[in-house]
């Protein structure tokens, strides 16, 4: 008998619908696993969001955890001839500055000229020696006869990076001179030049520091000299116009000579600390927003089977709750050796309803002006084991580490997801196997019923024929 291609044709039963119903019932057993997979996948994403938010907060916490914020100063000068920069430990005060001479680099220029920059000067290969000061190592530069034009000499000197720079000056009327300038200012960096191997080149650019040869060699067109100034009427000489060793934690930058005495004023600058505290409060509140989003709860109607899908991915999560609780407990420093023990004393208070921080800018400014060192002691501490931002930073680092609670929670969720995937695949394979078996059985039933129906029809026909003959 021929096989039946569609279930139910042979038997007259709706076997396809029955099989579909059986399959739907079996697939329904996978739904609880799918829901768990979705829940744990959302948790995994939630931990990623939590970690990212903590990293952002840690950035602001690290920025506030700098002692020099609380000792910062600003500078002002009564003259554009000089300016100053300070480190965090500079002492506020006023200084009288009188700049009488700027430091400058020495420049040597050839006395004799050349008709162009391409014609060779030397008749043989030579070695140029440049000596700056008496305590520096001399620099030697090979100059071939073929490369002894002004351009060749200039390029050889500049390529040697010998602490000097060379250039060609067009003085007009088809005349060119070679000029060499020291990269460093100060009289200690004055140069001497000598050429061995070619007397013509030695005569053209030799310089012994005394200009004894009136006809040849180079002349000092700019004299090497030190900066000279007085600070509070104390004379100071320096080889540079940037002077960092005259006033403790203050660097003077000289631009010009002054007209008599001028004033440099160093004042406390609380703006940097104020900005850092504000940024830290904003970052803390942004972290609280992330906590709220991840633990959001929407009340469901009585009798509902499931929670609202808009609930936070980490609702009721112990890891997040631990971090949130511990972080809140670290906001004060009762062990501070200063008079400041709580953030409220400097204008940072906590809203009991939202958990967010609120900042009173005026109170913070007043505290910093009155006792910036005390505020620093409470917030930064020793930078290792004490201070609000120090301890918070240590804890956040621990939470985010490869052995921290977020990594442990993430690993646990990942392991559960893997187990759920295995369960789902096994159950799905079992259902597919059962459905294949049912289909085979239904096919056999269809074939058998078709055969029985055919036999029944045949017998009925025979009985009818026999009866008609009687």
Query: pLDDT tens string for the chain (470 positions)?
Result: 333 346 655 555 666 777 677 777 776 666 776 677 677 677 888 889 999 999 999 999 999 999 889 988 899 999 999 999 988 778 889 999 999 999 999 999 999 999 999 999 999 999 999 999 877 899 999 999 999 999 999 999 999 999 999 999 999 999 999 999 999 999 999 999 999 999 999 999 999 877 555 557 899 999 999 999 999 999 999 999 999 999 999 999 999 999 999 999 999 899 999 999 999 999 999 999 999 999 988 876 555 555 556 788 888 889 999 999 999 999 988 888 999 999 999 999 999 988 999 999 999 999 999 999 999 999 999 999 999 999 999 999 999 999 999 999 888 778 877 776 777 677 777 777 777 776 777 677 667 766 666 676 667 776 767 666 65
Question: What's the distance, CA 215 to chain centroid?
Answer: 61
Q: How far apart (Å, rounded) are the C-alpha atoms in residues 210 and 205? A: 13
- Angle (nearest 5°) at CA 404 between 403 and 409: 105
402-406 long-range contacts, Cβ below 8 Å, gap at least 24?
A: 405/319, 405/322, 405/323, 406/47, 406/50, 406/51, 406/54, 406/319, 406/323
Burial 44-80 (b: 16+ CB within 10 A, else e): bebbeebbebbeebbebbeebbbbbbbbbbbbebebe
Structure-block tokens of residue 464: 């009818």
Q: Which of 6, 85, 53, 26 is nearest to 293 (CA)?
A: 53
Rg (CA), the chain: 45
Read off the pTM. 0.66
Q: How far apart (Å, rounded) are the C-alpha atoms in residues 426 and 421? A: 9
Q: How far apart (Å, rounded) are the C-alpha atoms in residues 354 and 324? A: 12
């Amino acid at each position: 008998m021929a096989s039946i291609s569609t279930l139910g044709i042979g038997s007259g039963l709706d076997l396809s619908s029955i099989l579909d119903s059986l399959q739907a019932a079996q697939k329904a057993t996978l739904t609880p696993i799918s829901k768990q997979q979705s829940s744990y996948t959302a948790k995994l994403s939630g931990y990623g969001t939590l970690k990212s938010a903590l990293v952002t907060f840690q950035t602001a916490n690290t920025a506030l955890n700098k002692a020099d914020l609380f000792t910062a100063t600003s500078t002002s000068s009564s003259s554009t001839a000089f300016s100053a920069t300070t480190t965090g430990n500079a002492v506020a005060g006023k200084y009288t500055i009188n700049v009488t001479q700027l430091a400058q680099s020495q420049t040597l220029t050839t006395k004799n000229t050349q008709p162009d920059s391409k014609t060779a000067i030397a008749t043989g290969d030579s070695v140029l020696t440049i000596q700056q000061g008496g305590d520096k190592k001399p620099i030697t530069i090979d100059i071939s006869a073929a490369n002894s034009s002004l351009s060749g000499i200039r390029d050889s000197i500049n390529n040697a990076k010998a602490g000097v720079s060379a250039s060609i000056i067009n003085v007009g009327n088809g005349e060119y001179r070679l000029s060499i300038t020291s990269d460093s200012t100060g009289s200690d960096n004055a140069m001497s030049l000598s050429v061995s191997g070619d007397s013509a080149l030695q005569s053209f650019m030799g310089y012994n520091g005394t200009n004894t040869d009136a006809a040849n060699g180079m002349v000092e067109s700019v004299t090497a000299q030190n900066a000279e100034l007085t600070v509070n009427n104390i004379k100071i000489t320096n080889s540079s116009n940037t002077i960092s060793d005259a006033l403790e934690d203050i660097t003077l930058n000289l631009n010009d000579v002054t007209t008599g005495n001028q004033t440099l004023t160093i004042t406390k600058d609380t703006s940097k600390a104020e900005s850092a505290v504000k940024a830290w409060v904003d970052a803390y509140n942004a972290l609280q927003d992330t906590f709220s989003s991840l633990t959001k709860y929407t009340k469901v109607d009585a009798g509902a089977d499931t929670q609202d899908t808009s609930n936070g991915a980490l609702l009721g999560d112990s890891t997040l709750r631990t971090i949130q609780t511990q972080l809140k407990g670290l906001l004060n420093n009762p062990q501070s050796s200063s008079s400041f023990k709580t953030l409220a004393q400097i204008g940072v208070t906590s809203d009991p309803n939202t958990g967010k921080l609120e900042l009173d800018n005026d109170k913070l400014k007043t505290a910093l002006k009155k006792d910036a060192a005390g505020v620093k002691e409470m917030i930064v501490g020793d930078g290792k084991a004490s201070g609000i931002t120090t301890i918070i930073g240590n804890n956040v680092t621990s939470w985010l580490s490869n052995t921290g609670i977020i990594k442990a929670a993430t690993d646990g969720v990942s392991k559960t997801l893997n187990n759920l995937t295995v369960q789902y695949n096994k159950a799905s394979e079992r259902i597919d196997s059962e459905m294949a078996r049912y289909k085979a059985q239904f096919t056999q039933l269809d074939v058998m019923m078709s055969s029985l129906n055919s036999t029944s029809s045949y017998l009925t026909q025979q009985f009818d024929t026999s009866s008609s003959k009687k």
